[in-house]
Amino acid sequence: MKKIRILNNEEIQQKTRRIAYQIVEDNYDESELILIGIKPNGYEYAEQLKKEIEAIDGLKVVLVELSLNKSKPLEEEIKLHLGKKSLDNKAVIVVDDVANTGKTLYYALKPVMEFLPKKVQAAVLVDRQHKLFPVSPDFVGLSLSTTMQEHIRVEFDGKGKSAAYLT
């Protein structure tokens, strides 16, 4: 299978910084943001976004982990690891690495709906634009039209060698 790099580490950092600025601008009146990272890669990407947002602004950013079975979301419990934190009246941003059909973002919203957030947005590094569910990200690093047979894979290594590939 041929693997084509579509984003290198520097490009990922640049796009992450741009998304962080967009998030700060869109949430200028908030005192706190809740980033919900979808495990595994969405959470890693949310960690990067959190660092960038905090570097831009003194805005308090709370990082929350969400676990779900991406291929069969109803077969296992969707877990939002909040502790005693509430999402009521908060600005919430659901974060994932790649948006394909919108299914993962759609099901990630299920535990969020148990609260009354002020607003809910979504951020992804790469959007494939093959929406089958009525969810589209608000913040996108790269929009890419692909065939249904092609796949995007993002690899985060934390050591400056992160990359996104088209296979």
- Domain ranges within the chain, ordered by starting residue: 32-147
Q: For residue 5, what pLDDT band results from cuts at 50, 70 and 90?
A: very high
Residue scoring higher pLDDT (91 or 101): 91
Alpha helices in the chain (DSSP H): 9-26, 41-56, 103-108
Confidence check: pLDDT of 71 > 80: yes
Question: pLDDT at residue 142 above 90?
Answer: yes
Tokens standing for residue 122: 């979504």
CATH code: domain 32-147 is 3.40.50.2020
| Residue 159's pLDDT band (cuts 50, 70, 90) | confident
Distance between CA 109 and CA 112 in Å, rounded?
5
- Between CA 106 and CA 147, with CA 101 as vertex, the angle to 5 degrees is 175
**Cβ neighbours for 65, distance < 8 A, ≥ 6 positions apart:** 36, 37, 39, 43, 80, 81
8 A C-beta contact, residue 90 and residue 117: yes
Confidence bin at 21 (pLDDT 50/70/90): very high
- Position 58 pLDDT exceeds 90: no
Is the pLDDT at 148 greater than 90, yes or no?
A: no
User: What pTM value is reported for the model?
Assistant: 0.94
- End-to-end CA, the chain: 7
